[in-house]
Structure 1
């Protein structure tokens, strides 16, 4: 599942070109292995539907037949058709990539686990921007990415498997990653 790989979300994010390349490789591998690829696209005041910033980054474009989920909240599950799409496809294990790590990727990861899905976060295929707090403190994007990668390795939910994997090592059939 690719979340919010949109011009206005990912282009100015930390290490964007590497992350976009990793997402593209993961999507290519999934397609080659006949694994369904779902695309989630966010819209809000900063990402108006059909605006230039709302569009997919040019390197990441859904193909015909790949489900597209439109959302307005951080979690890809809230007020969307995602659960129905996953049920129709018989999906029990999600592999997650995209942006922004601290908002939509985190919310979607927790949402998936809370709904009973196994989850593998692609540790090198999600990104965000650096945050500056009101007091001037910077929370560097790389630290935000690392924090979620660590959380996904250590979280524990009953009856579910979760973890992380690098793009080149993902096994789409094995929940939890490396």
Structure 2
């Protein structure tokens, strides 16, 4: 079992809301607006915001596709983490930054639901953090499965929202919340 984090220190983690990731994603303008609202609510409540940005062969560092979408701008002093794998925890300094901040509860938003958001959510839970997934502030693209079937983005998003609502880990709280309803002063448990 993971070491469960004691306390109730929240942090907002925004993952990969980058030009090349958001381009063509399901309901991208609405979702990006909700990510911006979640960040605004975190800042209003004095909650630190951590920005995680992906680098790989398709998202080459400093390219246009690698940049944050124009609607989102990290503030002076916000932590920025660069990653090369789906989980924001793998081979990054995220865990160390969370420890420095005394974080115990991660509120998560961003892209892409079926890759980096899912991997980061499970990574957080496996490391003993409580987790709130902002259920209207993550998105992905539909996937052609190559056999005449398509995995629809909306279904992938619904699946992760349901999983994070009902998933149980010993000693940890998981749940979802809408961006407009985020209250970082109390843990979420949607059941």
TM-score surpassing 0.5? yes
Aligned to 2:5: none
Aligned to 1:98: 110
**Counterparts of residues 85-164 of structure 1 (less than 5 Å):** 85-164=97-176
The counterpart of 2:69, out of the listed 27, 35, 57, is 57
Aligned to 2:9: none
Aligned to 1:18: 30
For the aligned residue pairs, the C-alpha RMSD in angstroms reads: 0.8
Question: Is the contact between residue 170 and residue 177 of structure 1 (CA under 8 Å) also seen in structure 2?
Answer: no
Could you state the TM-score of these two structures normalised by the residue count of structure 1? 0.98
Distance in 2 (CA, whole Å) between partners of 1:103 and 1:75 is: 8
Structure scoring higher RCO (CA < 8 A, sep ≥ 6) equals 2
User: Structure 1 unaligned runs (5+)?
Assistant: none
Q: Which runs of 4+ in 1 moved over 2 A?
A: 173-178
Aligned residues: 178
